Amino acid sequence: MPMTLGYWDIRGLAHAIRMLLEYTDSSYEEKRYVMGDAPDYDQSQWLSEKFKLGLDFPNLPYLIDGSHKITQSNAILRYLARKHNLCGETEEEKMRIDILENQVMDTCRQLVMVCYSPDFEKRKPEYLEGLPKRMKLYSEFLGKQPWFAGDKALKKSSAYMKFSCFLEVLVYLG
């Protein structure tokens, strides 16, 4: 039985989950909720189902995998990583993954704050000016390793990075 991933009809927080589901060749279906246009942003499609799914903390994104019902994007990513043995093998690898997960969330949050600001044009140059310093931290954390944590999935990861879903994100961000 395929898993169900529920989220708005956008990339947003579910896109990393979609990428991990594809990477792991997981069987899944998407339930995409349409949000109305501004300024009202009608959410009735989601709100009509929100409390009927049996989620402990009804929220988007959610993943339903049999009896497992998970909300929160990082909890879903961790669940999938554990299910597919992608959480690191040593304590050092696990620690590096934990650090990186939270650092990426901070970096994304900083970008979102700029992108959704009414003062976007004013905040954009400052954000872009600080970006090389933030990226340097990632580079230093990576060091001379080929991957941020371990090298077990090296061959599959290289092939996956050529996958159209991954390339679409790179083109979109570029």
pLDDT tens digits for range 23-57: 899 999 999 999 988 888 999 999 999 999 999 99
pLDDT at 5 (0 to 100):
98
Residue 78: phi, psi to the nearest 5?
-65, -40
pLDDT above 80: residue 4: yes
Best CATH choice for the domain 3-83 from the list 3.40.30.10, 3.40.1650.10, 3.40.50.450, 2.70.98.10: 3.40.30.10
Q: Any idea what the Cα angle at residue 170 is, between residues 168 and 174, rounded to 5°?
A: 120
pLDDT at 153 (0 to 100):
53
Q: Over the range 124-146, which residues count as b (16 or more CB within 10 Å of their CB) and which as e?
A: eeebeeeeeeeeeeeeeeeeeee
- Mean pLDDT for 7-14 is 92
pLDDT above 80: residue 93: yes
Give how far the C-alpha of residue 151 lies from the chain's centroid of Cα atoms, to the nearest Å.
Answer: 21
- Mean pLDDT for 68-75 is 96
Distances in whole angstroms, Cα of residue 64 to Cα of each of 1, 61, 111, 125: 11, 10, 29, 41
pLDDT at 133 (0 to 100):
94
Dist. CA 41–CA 44, nearest whole Å: 9
Q: What is the pLDDT of residues 104-157, one digit of tens each?
A: 889 989 999 999 899 999 999 999 999 999 999 999 998 888 878 877 654 444
pLDDT at 163 (0 to 100):
45
- Mean pLDDT for 64-89 is 93
pLDDT at 149 (0 to 100):
80
pLDDT at 73 (0 to 100):
92
- Which residue ranges make up each domain of the chain? 3-83, 91-152
Higher pLDDT residue, 94 or 21? 21
Q: What is the CATH number of domain 91-152?
A: 1.20.1050.10
